[in-house]
Structure 1
């Protein structure tokens, strides 16, 4: 008897998804079927590390992202992260700074801008 992943109950899948990287969830499970899409859209407190352009992923999961770590010089539209509680910006741009306002990020509780000590 073989069991397929899609035969698992929603509760078990949601528990498994908690341990999988947001990017891997998106590229591995998004658009497999309607059930997986709905499960992914129900996830909360997702963490995203941005190292390259992730516009499609952000447009789908942006409102579910709890923490974002930006390790690139790309301009990121933080307006899409309506649930954001924590931001870590390694390569900050002026655009990034102008977007970070409590008016647009009511849940933001933590902001870190580590210094780049390259001598």
Structure 2
């Protein structure tokens, strides 16, 4: 294999890896967004009629239902425009979904998210 071909393949692999990582979900980012926009602002138990929610409040299957069909159930629960006011991008919702599903009740790593 020539040196030029090796360098071209190496650079191609690096570019491919970088692009794939840009589209991959990030659970840590999802945890940060969930804590900042969901748990600390609303679902912390301080407000009447708003439930205290952590990832382990629901099972992984229940969390999946919130994010299917264009987040229909999530939007139905937040019917007063709360989701519109925080202005998260679709990738942020994907990250939050990954965090909640991987740390929901019944997962290998259920999490209370209060740390």
TM-score (norm: length of structure 1): 0.22
More RCO (CA 8 Å, sep 6+): 2
Structure exhibiting the larger radius of gyration computed from Cα positions: 2
TM-score (norm: length of structure 2): 0.23
More strand per residue:
1
